[in-house]
Structure 1
């Protein structure tokens, strides 16, 4: 009995931690990368923090569009805080190990916040659709109660489903290699390390992606098709320009987030190269939150005016 037990222990290793390889293939760049990501993270905190403050305190920004923008900026801070501090610690200490539980928690929060971001982007597109296509009914349709409900649903709708998805991923048997060739814990590299049949969980991951990523994207697409159709019918050029300018910032953020995310998850496995995937993963978790305040402040006169009031010098 003891011999069988010893043999089983030798043939079956339970993974208790993972090694996030990150950018370990660039050993001479660790200090430089630490500095770059530290500056980016501080800019994300300051830029999005300023957007939150001005959308709360400036009377001219007490509209649904800026209410959603303030929530979106807070979401961006939370989203990046799930990945960047851990990445900075790994670059500084060169340790790179993450416990099984910490990896599960990171994956869970990453997915919950990513789903909330997709849903909130769809809500913001709907807000622009109502403002441009149904301007007379806008105050009635997008009243404060409706706006609060839309934000709450965006934040909480995915929580039970994505907690269950994370549980399913980490219930897989990890009995061999524990090196994740990624910058944070994510389903695709984790499933690659799992032993045994992973078909069911891969189907579940794809279904969740359809619900929380593809469906909001289609809603955004439908909203903008109707918006563009309405804008093209406007008689004056200045009217068309003004209407489109209220949507352009949102469109740029959507393009950055969905463009980089789709490259990561639709990258063909036959020609799989880890470095491009890692770089584009940083786009939707780091670069989009970094550019969000810049896009909204540089292309929005109301935001620039509010910033001048808050920071007169």
Structure 2
């Protein structure tokens, strides 16, 4: 929409209050209407895997006393944030695949937008906290228990959640204050910030600058802290003795490094897709959806494959819940008697 059209629409909204938008239409992947059923199945399975994998990690850490170290405390907070992050968007997206027209109230749209933005930042903040935890464990192993106290780990997690809430607030508040007087078709599968803001009947250049500034702060600040932690880890490992000890110490960081790489690489692709003009709208939406589900989907898989204690805890949980099931051979023997 051109700036001239926005000005006309804004004037009309002043003259007639009936032009005020009360709901948005989520367009979704309009160019892939013949593949809606297939997309529904794919993302339903992905969402079920996200809930199952991350929910299992949360349950294991909260119920298994052997998973009481700070690393698992941070991991279970990351898994919980991933569940909230996907649950605020994917169910609505799935329902959109099954209906011709998907509408959402203005209030519901902005609530979805804020939770989505804040959870994206919270996830990266928790990854930063996990990098600091690995740094302390490797660089100062003898002082690890004294430094990473229960009080500190709770403060670090609270700070991560607070950082996500505050960092997303300026862009959200500015978006809420915008006038929406006519166009209400959101070219996305959920209430993405940039897709909603461009529908406003006003100049949104300041909104774009503020949103981009705080997005870069969230991304670059957390990435800089993560890289700083791993630089310190690398320096510390070069000063240690046997190579076997270095490999074992670095092995505790591999899962976290893989998750960080996937998270920031996918975020970079989303940033690029929104700023390269020759991307179609459907391609942008698909990239954004993959970014939304990819990291929460892979997190539990990566940590389960790389972490023996987590696998052992899952096995104990499985044996606990199957121990009470009747054995078929015992039942047949009792029947034969």
Decide: shared fold, TM above 0.5: yes
**Segment drifting more, 229-238 vs 115-124:** 229-238
The 3 A distance-change label for structure 1 pair 272 and 191 is: farther
Look up the match of 1:257.
263
Alpha-carbon offset, residue 207 of structure 1: 2.5
Q: 2:97 aligns with which of 80, 91, 98?
A: 91
Count, aligned residues: 309
List per-residue Cα deviations over 1:69-118 (Å, max 9, x = no partner): 01111111111101111111111223222221111010011112112111
**What secondary structure is seen at the aligned counterpart in 1 of 2:252?**
helix
**Pair 1:65 & 2:74 matched:** no
**Pair 1:294 & 2:309 matched:** no
Alpha-carbon offset, residue 130 of structure 1: 0.7
Indicate the RMSD between aligned Cα atoms, in angstroms: 2.2
Alpha-carbon offset, residue 284 of structure 1: 2.8
Look up the match of 1:216.
222
Q: 1:247 aligns with which of 253, 256, 262?
A: 253
What is the distance in 1 between the residues matched to 2:277 and 2:155? 43
Q: Judge conservation of contact 2:30–2:282 (CA < 8 Å) in 1.
A: no
Gap runs ≥5 in structure 1? none
What is the distance in 2 between the residues matched to 1:179 and 1:189? 9
**Pair 1:308 & 2:315 matched:** yes
What is the distance in 2 between the residues matched to 1:238 and 1:7? 72
**Segment drifting more, 41-50 vs 16-25:** 16-25
**What secondary structure is seen at the aligned counterpart in 1 of 2:189?**
coil
**Segment drifting more, 28-37 vs 291-300:** 28-37
**Pair 1:281 & 2:288 matched:** yes
Alpha-carbon offset, residue 201 of structure 1: 1.7
The 3 A distance-change label for structure 1 pair 5 and 182 is: closer
**Segment drifting more, 31-40 vs 81-90:** 31-40
Alpha-carbon offset, residue 57 of structure 1: 2.3
Q: Judge conservation of contact 1:257–1:283 (CA < 8 Å) in 2.
A: no
Alpha-carbon offset, residue 36 of structure 1: 1.4
Look up the match of 1:48.
54
Alpha-carbon offset, residue 160 of structure 1: 4.4
Q: Judge conservation of contact 1:82–1:109 (CA < 8 Å) in 2.
A: yes
**What secondary structure is seen at the aligned counterpart in 2 of 1:289?**
helix
**Pair 1:125 & 2:131 matched:** yes
**Segment drifting more, 227-236 vs 250-259:** 227-236
Look up the match of 2:22.
16
Q: 1:158 aligns with which of 148, 160, 164?
A: 164
Alignment of 1:225-240 (within 5 A): 225-240=231-246
What is the distance in 2 between the residues matched to 1:123 and 1:308? 28
Look up the match of 1:173.
179
**Segment drifting more, 94-103 vs 187-196:** 187-196
Look up the match of 2:151.
145
Alpha-carbon offset, residue 275 of structure 1: 2.7
The 3 A distance-change label for structure 1 pair 214 and 5 is: closer
Look up the match of 2:327.
none
What is the distance in 2 between the residues matched to 1:308 and 1:7? 64
> TM (normalized to structure 1)?
0.91
Q: Judge conservation of contact 1:21–1:96 (CA < 8 Å) in 2.
A: yes
What is the distance in 1 between the residues matched to 2:64 and 2:13? 68
